Structure 1
Amino acid sequence: MRIGFQTGYWSRRPPKGIQQFIVAADKLGLDSVWTAEAYGSDAFSPLAWWGSRTKNVRLGTGIAQLSARTPTATAMQALTMDHLSKGRFVLGLGASGPQVVEGWYGQPYKRPLARTREYVDIVRQVMRREAPVTHDGSFYQLPLPAEAPGAMGLGKALKPTVHPFRPEIPIVLAAQGPKNVALAAEIADGWMAGFYAPRMDDEFRALLAEGFDVRSEERSAADRFEVCATVPVVVRDDVEAAADVIRPHIALYAGGMGAKEANFHKQSLDRLGYKEPLDKVQELYLAGRKEEAAAAVPTQLVEEIALVGPAEKIRRELPTWEKTAITTLLVQGDPASMLALLAATQDMSLAGRARSTAGSLLAKVAPSKV
């Protein structure tokens, strides 16, 4: 199991200390760095800026929203990033939710799975550069038909002027619902999970198997499929104090990241068996009582989807995660917690890295918080 770093999206401003940490982690042996976007910072710009200081880590969007760009625009950015990083780029894509898609981008949200299929097909056409890009779908039509509203009828099928660094850039799909997970296994090179709980591993493997069963022969073998899971990490002497850092994050997603009747994040957490307490969390959050909503998040839930508490406790729990379908653990947290985790993984994927190295890097970045 590889260890990556999920920087997420920005809050009010760029996070402090993050570039210093990424450079340090690149030297330590971190596998990858991932960025996200919602309706503030974008996923590509920070990745290019911070990634320009690195030499080894893979650079992934985790995730870039489908509705933020046309498929060809996304392919252009991926093609550019892959050249600049010399083949270290990973394109993470996700459909987001109706509140953002219809409220921020002004686009209809219905049929996200079908839209994702078309989107990925167009991106791959651009990357292969075998012929001018064409697509006649329900969501995307290239070139635009002459009879389309507002069209001049002068559209021309085009190939990218830039030759791709690699004809195939790995595409990872973010998915939480059962059908979405199966779709990722069917058409993508990886799945980015949210709120992964090790005790649900058998169910997740079964969903992936559904997709692998109908996977086309031209796609890479299932044994090369990447499963990424974002796991918050907070190293503190007291478990409850560590859980308190994560509770507002869960309350935000369960309570405010989606309409009450269409909150895919909450539905994902509900499937873990926490519907009743999370109904209360959602009720409090939507009423504007955010601190109470956070306090209502069960500690047991936090411990299922995050690594919290003393470093020794986290060390004991890591083997449970390593036995899951996860191939890349994307940890998210402050630099001090992150580097403590890297030190704890010396017997796993980062074997042989000295604690003293992690300690010296920790001393440099610990004052800053992500």
Structure 2
Amino acid sequence: MKLGLQLGYWAAQPPTNHAELVAAAEEAGFDTVFTAEAWGSDAYTPLAWLGRETRRLRLGTSVVQLSARTPTACAMAALTLDHLSGGRHILGLGVSGPQVVEGWYGQRFAKPLARTREYIDILRQVWAREAPVTSAGPHYPLPLSGEGTTGLGKALKPIVHPLRADIPIMLGAEGPKNIALAAEICDGWLPIFYSPRLAPMYNEWLDEGFARPCARRSREDFEICATAQVMVTDDRAATMAAVKPFLALYMGGMGAEGTNFHADVYRRMGYAEVVDDVTRLFRSGCKDEAAAIIPDEAVDDSAIIGDLNYVRAQIPVWEAAGVTMMVVTAGSAAQIRDLADLV
């Protein structure tokens, strides 16, 4: 089992201790540090800024949003960071949701699976640098031609020779078809609310992707880097209560009311009625009440919270379920060292 540090995206102000956390993670033997983006800070700038002081940690995005960059712009950012880090970059991608894609980026959300496949094909063409990059579309046609264009577009290869012709790609996926796609065309999966209890269901979806004719990986060399709230505490009830507002936001407030992929994850876990009630309360402004009705079992399904012996016993459960890396958050260097000692 490997450990990853999730720095996430910034809140209202830039964090002040991320450099300390990254240094502690490198010293403690963590495998990867991840950054994220929503509709505030971007993922690449902090990752490059913080990664410059590291020598061993892999530098991952978990995740960058497809609609934030054209495929070639994303490929350029990835190959640049891969050079700067000496081949330590992991590109974690996600489609986000229609509320953000259409409301923030001004892009169309339709056909996310087809868009992801086409996007990743272009990324790999750029990095392989075997020929000028072309795509028949329909989502990212290159060169662009037709009505409204000059007709002068030219297929190009990147000026910079990529350090690696095949930078690892991981997909942030939550639904069955997207998880199968990750297994088929990517090098890893980045689940945000992973539940070991549902491993047989996840494995069925992953196996569907692995079985496809052109699958890149098998279960033996595919990474599952699962976000995991791992909290060592003697006051389990209070810590559970502190986590529930975060779950209420994702369960009830992320995305459009009828299209919330995070909520769908908890529906699959068996909490459909809870999701409906949390959504109703959260969207009516009763956020504290929404958090309060989330049962402890829903927290337990995707987190490890308890005393030292409990946490130590649960980590092998996640590993047995197929998780190859636990992606954790931490507020201090001491927490990072404690987590490293557990694993």
Q: What is the DSSP-based 3-state SS (H/G/I as helix, E as strand, rest coil) of the residue aligned with 2:87?
A: coil
Q: Any conservation in 1 of the 2:28–2:336 contact (CA below 8 Å)? A: no
Mapped to 1, the partners of 2:12 and 2:134 lie a distance apart of 40
Once the two structures are superposed, the pairs formed by residues 87-102 of structure 1 within 5 Å of their partners are 87-102=87-102
Mapped to 2, the partners of 1:134 and 1:93 lie a distance apart of 21
1:296 correspondence with 2:305 = no
Segments of 4+ moved more than 6 angstroms: none
Q: What is the DSSP-based 3-state SS (H/G/I as helix, E as strand, rest coil) of the residue aligned with 1:200?
A: helix
Of the candidates 183, 187, 190, which is equivalent to residue 188 of structure 2?
Answer: 190
Mapped to 2, the partners of 1:65 and 1:261 lie a distance apart of 21
Mapped to 1, the partners of 2:277 and 2:98 lie a distance apart of 22
Q: What is the DSSP-based 3-state SS (H/G/I as helix, E as strand, rest coil) of the residue aligned with 1:193?
A: coil
Partner of 2:43: 43
Of the candidates 152, 155, 160, which is equivalent to residue 153 of structure 2?
Answer: 155
Mapped to 1, the partners of 2:30 and 2:293 lie a distance apart of 34
Q: Any conservation in 2 of the 1:235–1:337 contact (CA below 8 Å)? A: no
Partner of 2:220: 223
Of the candidates 280, 302, 307, which is equivalent to residue 305 of structure 1?
Answer: 302
- Measure how far apart 1:221 and its partner are: 4.2
State the AA in 2 paired with 1:91: L
Could you give the per-residue CA deviations for residues 49-100 of structure 1, whole angstroms, max 9, x where no partner exists?
1111111111000000000000000000000010001010000000000000
Structure 1 residues 2, 216: CA separation in 2 closer, same or farther (over 3 Å shift)? same
Mapped to 1, the partners of 2:83 and 2:7 lie a distance apart of 22
Task: Provide the aligned length of Structure 1 versus Structure 2.
Answer: 342
Mapped to 1, the partners of 2:186 and 2:210 lie a distance apart of 10
State the AA in 2 paired with 1:161: I
Partner of 1:205: 203
Mapped to 1, the partners of 2:116 and 2:60 lie a distance apart of 18
Q: Any conservation in 2 of the 1:228–1:328 contact (CA below 8 Å)? A: yes
Q: Any conservation in 1 of the 2:99–2:256 contact (CA below 8 Å)? A: yes
Q: What is the DSSP-based 3-state SS (H/G/I as helix, E as strand, rest coil) of the residue aligned with 1:184?
A: helix
- Measure how far apart 1:245 and its partner are: 2.1
Of the candidates 237, 254, 265, which is equivalent to residue 257 of structure 1?
Answer: 254
Mapped to 1, the partners of 2:166 and 2:252 lie a distance apart of 38
- Measure how far apart 1:47 and its partner are: 0.6
Mapped to 2, the partners of 1:60 and 1:215 lie a distance apart of 28
Q: What is the DSSP-based 3-state SS (H/G/I as helix, E as strand, rest coil) of the residue aligned with 2:301?
A: helix
Structure 1 residues 142, 312: CA separation in 2 closer, same or farther (over 3 Å shift)? same
Once the two structures are superposed, the pairs formed by residues 73-84 of structure 1 within 5 Å of their partners are 73-84=73-84
Partner of 2:331: 334
Mapped to 1, the partners of 2:67 and 2:161 lie a distance apart of 25
Mapped to 2, the partners of 1:342 and 1:99 lie a distance apart of 37
Mapped to 2, the partners of 1:221 and 1:259 lie a distance apart of 35
Structure 1 residues 159, 18: CA separation in 2 closer, same or farther (over 3 Å shift)? same
Q: Any conservation in 1 of the 2:7–2:33 contact (CA below 8 Å)? A: yes
Partner of 1:15: 15
- Measure how far apart 1:343 and its partner are: 1.6
State the AA in 2 paired with 1:259: A
Per the normalisation by structure 2, the TM-score is 0.97
Deviates most, 65-74 or 327-336? 327-336
Q: What is the DSSP-based 3-state SS (H/G/I as helix, E as strand, rest coil) of the residue aligned with 1:260?
A: coil
Mapped to 2, the partners of 1:286 and 1:94 lie a distance apart of 25
Deviates most, 257-266 or 10-19? 10-19
Partner of 1:364: none
Q: Percent identity?
A: 52
Partner of 1:129: 129
Could you give the per-residue CA deviations for residues 25-66 of structure 1, whole angstroms, max 9, x where no partner exists?
101110100111010011111111111111111100000000
Structure 1 residues 288, 333: CA separation in 2 closer, same or farther (over 3 Å shift)? farther
- Measure how far apart 1:220 and its partner are: 4.0
Q: What is the DSSP-based 3-state SS (H/G/I as helix, E as strand, rest coil) of the residue aligned with 2:172?
A: strand
Deviates most, 286-295 or 128-137? 286-295
Partner of 1:72: 72
Deviates most, 306-315 or 162-171? 306-315
1:61 correspondence with 2:61 = yes
- Measure how far apart 1:232 and its partner are: 1.5
The alignment yields a C-alpha RMSD, in angstroms, of 1.2
Could you give the per-residue CA deviations for residues 196-241 of structure 1, whole angstroms, max 9, x where no partner exists?
1111111111110000111516x24442111111111233211111
Of the candidates 164, 167, 174, which is equivalent to residue 165 of structure 2?
Answer: 167
Q: What is the DSSP-based 3-state SS (H/G/I as helix, E as strand, rest coil) of the residue aligned with 1:244?
A: helix
Structure 1 residues 285, 337: CA separation in 2 closer, same or farther (over 3 Å shift)? farther
Q: What is the DSSP-based 3-state SS (H/G/I as helix, E as strand, rest coil) of the residue aligned with 1:181?
A: helix
State the AA in 1 paired with 2:164: R
Partner of 1:354: none
Partner of 1:245: 242
